[in-house]
Structure 1
């Protein structure tokens, strides 16, 4: 919030040019009058977005993304519709008078079948263009246009806040319909705003624990059909068949890609009790990392690749705990402190771990202290971090209907994405570089 307080009498200030100009845009502001002082209009919006000239597709996507990222953005009742900073020259004081810190302007054009978007993010107070003019080039098809809108929104968010945006990543999740032998599971991928959902694979049976490769091009997941062991598959998101990775007789579950995408962790019982294994992401012979008498499951690489976290019931039946294994030393330490802790997953910077605490979705810091409790969602699953770690997504069930919820960890703001059937195991891919 931007406030400028003038310790002057109201009657004196209101005959000034600035007061007259301010009165032209009262719809976007609040005025507070005190007995012996005047607080000029306080602008609630952070970004003025002028819909891009020549565009009807990208601009709504960008505005929607920036709003869901927590920015207060307006594209209504703006005094002008400039397409570039050159058109803005000479009229900047009009925008400065609005009190909105940032202005986004741009235009689209077609060149050899491609859509080219030029846009600028302007610091209104100084008139400075943040990192100069930006250009995006994309194909004309709807999917490419949507992706371009998300990427542009991410760039605008980064220019304004200095931190990456989340909405150019994609979300994979499982959608279940039916029950028992009639259950059908679909692995689906959608844009991070909940639009453009597509089915990647469909099976009669169950799909478990999807995980993204670091480049966002592949997904590993487990499939269990009737009267068969769970098998881990790797599949390209762009199409093609799934490749079985673990054709071993046992429960093969919870794949996790290494940070460079070359290896996969998983748990398997093909040599007895469930243990933690590592193998090449292209297949081959697995290497057992952890071989305790108890059951060890749900491994997940740390972002730096130097360690992993996993779940073990070594302390007692139905008392699972989260442990960390260090690759260099082979040392194992207990991380969690609650009575029941499962399904660990790191944030991208390694500072937080999402997990299931009892029946509540929760988050702890890397030292094991719980920092956020999201409560019982109706589905016993942990949340998943967005690329920035500012948001989480989790599945929930209410009245027999499933939904996905994206929640800001800082503001508490959330929005729901309705799905068909029951949703499970949503996971967010990294945003493209």
Structure 2
């Protein structure tokens, strides 16, 4: 078992290097520095919950896909609560792992109750007190409960809400031409539990989540038909047409309160930006330049939106910002080919496509991260807490959906039979 080890360093500092009077003797100065070197790389020890075989693997997998280093191996004990650490805390402190997660599950009136604690090992303090969660016993509810617990554990340790209980929508395409089938799918944030929401003979473009995570707006284009925007409840029910206009109706974006949708349409000539009720109706034109304006995306505070325009010249698209209060527009991206913008949930970052490379910039237009060529001309989508992104690519002729940490560099992928397009991460449901 590795522990911290002491290092005693003696530094001989020549008096000649010190500011001393010239007539004083130049005796060496001895400094003794006594400090600890941590040799343990793991940040979290996770003890599988007592009485559980379903939740613990989900929680462990979620946490391991973040910048945290988590281990459940070679632990000295298997406590189920902080009270069982009485008298044995020094054993855990010698491990050099800062945090310990323990818990247990029990049945109560047809529900599964999970009690768990996040313990700061150095002090023995339970961060945030004991946590409890009740869930139904079906597989879907248990999976969701595991993600919710992982969210809370991550938040207690880092101070930032986790992003595991949000879901990812994406489009899967098979076939070509008249035989193309497009499926709008939704999966959990760990790449599992994928379900088909709708299937069409044709193309599906740019799905967008409502803020509450219950609805998705998307565009469908069938053969010899205009692209039309639909809104659909992800938990069942039919899809409602909200843009019955004879033009290319594309790139829906929900307002932060879920009541309105921005989109672009060419039904009056060149592509303009419009706002409409999320139920359809109350159409309002917002951007009406002679050039083409597309791909609008609301800012999280609802006071502005970003969009793409080629007003600077043909094949020179740039990202602009429109402010609702003043009606003022300003250019955000700095030169080059910039498209497909999307805000992070806190409004401080914008994911976009720089040429054919996925990238991230701040709101002043300075590029802060380059994710590289994804193989498909699409930008990444931020996770709810802004620390991860999801993007589509192609590898070996197959579509791959990749989730990548922006902090720890970790990434994992999920492949499909066809091409994957337009993955977008929902906010965590309330």
TM-score normalised by L of structure 1 = 0.91
Number of residue-to-residue matches in the alignment:
407
Residue deviations 1:387-431, cap 9 Å, x none? 111111110012211101111222322211212211000000112
Q: Distance in 2 between matches of 1:248 and 1:87?
A: 66
Aligned partner of 1:264 in structure 2 is: 261
Q: Distance in 2 between matches of 1:158 and 1:60?
A: 19
1:40–1:292 Cα change, 3 Å: closer
Q: Distance in 2 between matches of 1:81 and 1:3?
A: 22
Aligned partner of 1:20 in structure 2 is: none
**Retained in 1: the 8 A contact 2:297–2:307?**
yes
Q: Distance in 2 between matches of 1:68 and 1:419?
A: 20
Q: Distance in 2 between matches of 1:2 and 1:385?
A: 38
Q: Distance in 1 between matches of 2:181 and 2:398?
A: 16
**Retained in 2: the 8 A contact 1:187–1:200?**
yes
- Structure 2 gap ranges (5+): 11-32
Which of 74, 91, 104 in structure 1 is aligned with 2:88? 91
**Matches for 1:145-294 after TM superposition, within 5 Å:** 145-294=142-291
Moved more, 365-374 or 129-138: 365-374
Q: Distance in 2 between matches of 1:95 and 1:432?
A: 36
Give, in angstroms, the shift of residue 317 of structure 1.
1.1
**Retained in 1: the 8 A contact 2:383–2:390?**
yes
Aligned partner of 1:417 in structure 2 is: 414
Give, in angstroms, the shift of residue 112 of structure 1.
1.1
Q: Distance in 2 between matches of 1:4 and 1:217?
A: 52
**In structure 2, the residue corresponding to 1:7 is in which secondary structure?**
strand
**Matches for 1:102-121 after TM superposition, within 5 Å:** 102-121=99-118
- Structure 1 gap ranges (5+): 10-35
Return the index of the structure with the highest Cα Rg. Answer: 2
Whose RCO is larger (CA < 8 A, sep 6+)? 2
TM-score normalised by L of structure 2 = 0.92
Q: Distance in 1 between matches of 2:205 and 2:340?
A: 12
Aligned partner of 1:5 in structure 2 is: 6
**Retained in 2: the 8 A contact 1:171–1:426?**
yes
Q: Distance in 2 between matches of 1:95 and 1:381?
A: 47
Residue deviations 1:267-321, cap 9 Å, x none? 0111221100001111113100011111111000011111011111111111111
Which of 382, 386, 390 in structure 2 is aligned with 1:393? 390
1:263–1:98 Cα change, 3 Å: same
1:328 maps to 2:329 = no
Give, in angstroms, the shift of residue 37 of structure 1.
9.6
Q: Distance in 1 between matches of 2:340 and 2:293?
A: 12
Q: Distance in 1 between matches of 2:9 and 2:307?
A: 64
Q: Distance in 2 between matches of 1:308 and 1:38?
A: 51
Which of 400, 403, 416 in structure 1 is aligned with 2:400? 403
Give, in angstroms, the shift of residue 255 of structure 1.
0.3
Q: Distance in 2 between matches of 1:347 and 1:73?
A: 26
Residue deviations 1:312-359, cap 9 Å, x none? 111111111111111001111111113211111001111111111111
